[in-house]
């Protein structure tokens, strides 16, 4: 089952119980530079380590997947805004603390920008609407300087 299918099912279950659902969109900052400067094997190592950090940071029952390219998504049913931030911020700081060494011996700094949105506070109460709201927050975080958690404002 794809991430989208799992996320749709999780969102439907949450909507049936009127539970809130959070979504984190996690995007590696400057990932293209890593691939261009250090090669795809190093980029693959970065993606694997980031996936591990994200998977370990979420709760059992949350739905995590690679959304595309250098972007990961985590759907968190039954979460409040403070809990959403309490999961997102450690993801950001743990990824920042990762140490990836290039074949040249150079340490590669890693940062992520995280966009977060909470259902039903979003204007469009659907998975697509939740993704759009989190993605908009993500890009607002990128414009504000990257390496941050940005919550969608509705």
Is 70 among the catalytic positions? yes
Using CA atoms, how far apart are residues 135 and 146, in angstroms rounded to an integer?
13
Contact 23, 71 (CB under 8 A): no
Beta bridge partners of 24: 74, 116
Catalytic residue among 70, 89, 106, 124: 70
Candidates 10, 112, 128, 140; CA nearest to 51 is: 112
Q: Point out the residues that are catalytic.
A: 70
């Amino acid at each position: 089952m794809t991430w989208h299918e799992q996320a749709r099912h999780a969102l439907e279950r949450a909507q049936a119980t009127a539970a809130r659902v959070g979504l984190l969109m996690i995007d590696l900052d400057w990932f293209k530079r890593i691939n261009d400067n250090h090669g795809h094997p190093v980029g693959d190592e970065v993606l694997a380590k980031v996936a591990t950090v994200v998977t370990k940071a979420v709760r059992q029952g949350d739905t995590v997947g690679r959304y595309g390219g250098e972007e990961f998504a985590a759907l968190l049913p039954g979460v409040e805004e403070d809990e959403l931030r309490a999961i997102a911020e450690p993801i950001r700081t743990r990824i920042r603390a990762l140490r990836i060494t290039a074949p040249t011996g150079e340490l590669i700094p890693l940062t992520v920008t995280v966009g977060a949105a909470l259902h039903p506070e979003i204007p469009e109460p659907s998975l697509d609407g939740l993704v759009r709201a989190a993605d908009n927050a993500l890009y607002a975080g990128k414009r504000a300087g990257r390496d941050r958690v940005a919550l969608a404002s509705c």
